[in-house]
Chains A and B, each alone.
Chain A
Amino acid sequence: MATHPQIRRPGRSDLARARRRAGLLFALPAIALVLAITVIPLAQAIYYSFTDWNGATARWVGLRNYVNMLRDPELKQAMINSCLILLSIPLGMIPAFVTAYLLSRGPLLSGLMRTLIFAPTALSWIVIGIVARQTFANEGPLNGLLSAIGLDVLAMNWLARPSTALIALLFTFNAAVFGVNTVIFLTALSTVDRSTIEAARIDGASETRILVSIILPAVRRFVEFVFIITMVASATGIFGLIYVMTAGGPGSATMTLEFAVWRRALSTGAFGPGAAIGISLMLLVLLVIAIVRRLARVEADA
């Protein structure tokens, strides 16, 4: 009866074990850093979100902070505002894509245009907020322009009215991310196979057909990427913009969940409820990312 030689699995060799150990040792500082600045604070936040922590003492209150979020009119408004900003992102991506598409077809002055479009990306949200507040002021340049072209009826104190302050914020946010999104789309368009496009043109396909059937599918992953990074920025990165531009007002008209974390935790000393809002915001962002990835995967499979 023949016997099979014992096959040694490579991972069990001394060399492989030594390599794994060395790799782990080299990775330990990075792991420790990630644990210290991400995992441990996250675990603490999750714990404190179930307490009435005021910065000094913490008493377990169970789900009270999360339940109160659903009852608090201000937090409900913050959730609605966060969702509205989220819904505005696809609309804000369209001008960026169109601009990138036009730039990709016109070599003339494209370098200068790219610089001009991307330059505002270097500005901080604080600066953008200050400029926006001046722009939308009652005697600001926007109202001046509207009056100059005979649209006085549209001139108003944009940031003093709950109905228009959020619109001003949405516009400012999408205008601020226009530059970086355009550059990403330009990069995306440069990856599209030109020979496929030329072949389609030879076959008589219209530019619209080429855009819809060839270019858009080819840059699908970039569209997904732009949406995700813009969504993350809107959810967690525009506190400075809101603080300077409207301070979450008028009333709660421009308060987002991110801003509500600051207002509850630091403005009133309610760190426990603030942690609950923060955890909820994190879960919302992860949910949206999961949905987007799922939709992208379904489309790819199709």
Chain B
Amino acid sequence: MERKIVSIAATSVLALICGSGSAMAQDTVLTLWHNGSCPTENCLVRSLAEGFVAANPGITIDIVEQPNDAYFTALLAASVTGSGPDLATMWAGGYITPYKPYLEDLRTYVAAGDIASSIGTSYYAEGGDKTDILYAVPTENQWYNGYYNKAILAANGITPPRTWDELTAACATLKTAGILPIINGPSTSEAQFQPLFEFAYLATALPIDQWNGLYDGTLAYSNPALLSQLERWNALYAAGCINEDAFNHPDTQAEFAAGGAAMYFSSGSWTIPDLTAAMGDDLGIMIPPFSDTPMQNIISLAGGGLVMMNYSDQKDAAGAFLAYVLSDAGQSLMAGITAPTRAGFPTTNPLINELVAMSTAPDWQGYPMFDNFSQPPVTDAIVRNMALVLVGEVSPADALAAADAAFASMPDDQKNVNYGLNAN
């Protein structure tokens, strides 16, 4: 009798453990770090997560919003200690370099055909080779671009300027009408505005193959073309075309959306949803016209990517999500929001389609996002000094010299890069 009771009890316990074990295997929670806010109603990564979760019951994705300006330092610190998330958002080029020791090779999880057909995977593959280690799956194509208020420009008889001269003329007309021509400043709670977007367009004065020279040191940042561009940029500010407190004006994007200025350059395509919601049909896309001839350069990249940390203990589930992102289902979902990286999934967003049209036009030259390939010390020097160039606190020559000094201070292995950028 006693032996029977013990065996029944043991069987019950065994059944309980097996049952709970299988229940635990189904209840998988993936942690995903997102740089910046990811609101419920307007966040691509959240939409992708919801689509995946709906198709995979038993797996949930917990999106953790990290402050944008401290995101990469937080992720690096967490990776060094192995306490980071399963998944994380990531940027391409130089941003991903410090994290390579902590990233899983995604070729194990993502279909080879999907990798090959995505134009963004080359930016996240070792050496730009899609058949080599894949560190991240791209989520969307992004652009650096400017915006204009259609109503304001139309009311003043102005078409979106495409050259320095047209911009200067538009500025004069708008100032006469009492309208701030260009608004600049941080878009979030940062201490200064981000000059990288405008610096990238200023640098398109150089042919794209000369950007290779900037990255590998064969072309100094202190060159006549960049010097001239920065001087003209500062001249806009000196002429009163840009708000006086451009360096740290708060809530810049919101003020533009509210009609506080005619044009806004320090931004990119990721703000289209927010600006469209605020401005509706009054929102227009333009490329900062930092050119003597009609601007036909456009800066785009696989803006965001998703990585799997190699210290995750839920790699199968994490890999399944990343595979979903590049799958037909994921790309179709993305097309309803923004521009996917695989061809064959046209977007329904008209403003994104304008950018796609510019990017694919044969007479336009595509450039990558400059800071995705510049080395971190150089990027840091550009961020710190170029913002001061605009407001006249640092001369263009000194700012460019600081970038050269930052390059010179790096060890050789950081200098020896070869991205092979070429014209279309």
Does chain A bind chain B? yes
| A contacts, CB < 8 Å to B | 52, 54-57, 68, 71-73, 133, 137-139, 157, 159-162, 243-252, 262-263, 266-269, 271
The reply to whether A262 and B73 form a contact with Cβ atoms under 8 Å apart is yes
Establish whether residues A68 and B409, one from each chain, have CB atoms under 8 Å apart when the complex forms.
yes
The 6 closest A-B pairs by CB, nearest first: A138-B245, A266-B73, A160-B247, A247-B191, A269-B98, A56-B101
With A and B bound together, what is the CA distance between A54 and B76 in angstroms?
10
Q: In the complex, A268 Cα to B64 Cα: how many Å?
A: 23
Q: Are B380 and A267 in contact (CB under 8 A)?
A: yes
Minimum CB–CB distance from B375 to chain A (whole Å) comes to: 9
CB<8 Å pairs between A and B, sample of 7: A137-B245, A137-B248, A159-B248, A247-B191, A251-B384, A267-B72, A269-B376
Within 8 A of A (CB), among B81-105: 98, 101-102
Q: How many residues of B contact A (CB 8 A)?
A: 33
Chain B residues with CB under 8 Å of A251's CB are 384-385, 388, 393-394
Residues of chain B within 8 A of A245, CB atoms compared: 191
Question: A250 touches which one: B77, B190, B247, B376 (CB < 8 A)?
Answer: B247
CB of B380 within 8 A of CB of A268, answer: yes
Closest to A255 in B: B384
List of A residues within 8 angstroms of B76 by Cβ: 55, 266, 269
* Distance of A139 Cα from B79 Cα, bound (Å): 41
Q: Write out the residue numbers on chain A whose beta carbons fall within 8 Å of the beta carbon of B244.
A: 138, 157
Q: How far is the CA of A49 from the CA of B387 in the complex (A)?
A: 32
What residues of chain B lie closer than 8 Å to A72, measured between beta carbons?
A: 409
Does B226 sit within 8 A of A, measured CB to CB? Answer: no
Is A73 touching B405 in the complex (CB atoms < 8 A)?
A: yes
Known pairs A137-B248, A251-B388, A251-B394; list 7 more (Cβ under 8 Å): A55-B76, A55-B79, A56-B80, A133-B248, A137-B250, A263-B380, A269-B98
**Which residues of B are found within 8 Å of A263, using beta-carbon distances?**
380
Q: A68-B409, A137-B248, A266-B76 are in contact. Are A250 and B380 (CB under 8 A)?
A: no
Docked pose: A72 CA to B245 CA in angstroms: 30
* A19 smallest CB distance to B (angstroms): 41
- Which of chain B's residues have a CB closer than 8 A to the CB of A161? 393
A-side interface mostly: loop
Question: Does B420 count as interface, using CB distance less than 8 angstroms?
Answer: no
B80 contact set on A, CB distance < 8 A: 55-56, 271
B381 closest partner in A (C-beta): A74
Q: For residue B250, which residues in chain A have a CB less than 8 angstroms away from its CB? A: 137
Cβ of B404 to closest chain A Cβ, rounded Å: 12
Closest CB-CB distance, A256 to chain B, in whole Å?
15
**Binary contact track B176-210/A, C-beta < 8 Å → 1, others 0:** 00000000000000111000000000000000000
B377 proximal to A (CB < 8 A): yes
Interface bits B376-402 vs A (CB < 8 Å: 1, else 0) = 110010001101100101100000001
Q: Residue on B with the closest CB to A159?
A: B248
Q: Does B249 contact A (CB under 8 A)?
A: yes
Q: Is B224 an interface residue when CB atoms closer than 8 A count as contact? A: no
Task: Specify the chain B residue showing the minimal Cβ separation from A245.
Answer: B191
Question: Which of A54, A137, A244, A247 touches B192 (beta carbons < 8 Å)?
Answer: A247
Q: How far is the CB of A127 from chain B (nearest CB, A)?
A: 13
Is A249 in contact with B191, judged by CB distance below 8 angstroms?
yes
Q: Are A247 and B380 in contact (CB under 8 A)?
A: no
B138 smallest CB distance to A (angstroms): 23
Instruction: Report chain A residues within 8 Å CB of B245.
Output: 137-139, 157, 160
Q: How far is the CB of A113 from chain B (nearest CB, A)?
A: 34
CA distance A184 to B250 in the complex (A): 38
Question: Interface 1/0s, chain B 92-120, versus A by CB < 8 A?
Answer: 00000010011000000000000000000
Asked if A160 meets B391 with Cβ closer than 8 Å, knowing A247-B192, A262-B73, A267-B73, the reply is yes
Whether B73 contacts A160 by the Cβ 8 Å rule is no
A246 to chain B, nearest CB (A): 5
Interface readout for B149-187 with A: 1 if CB under 8 Å, 0 if not? 000000000000000000000000000000000000000
Give A244 to B192 CA distance when docked, in angstroms. Answer: 10
A138 to chain B minimum Cβ distance, whole angstroms, is 4
For residue B39, CB closer than 8 A to chain A, the reply is no
Cβ distance B39 to chain A, nearest Cβ, rounded Å: 22
Nearest-CB distance from B81 to chain A (Å)? 9
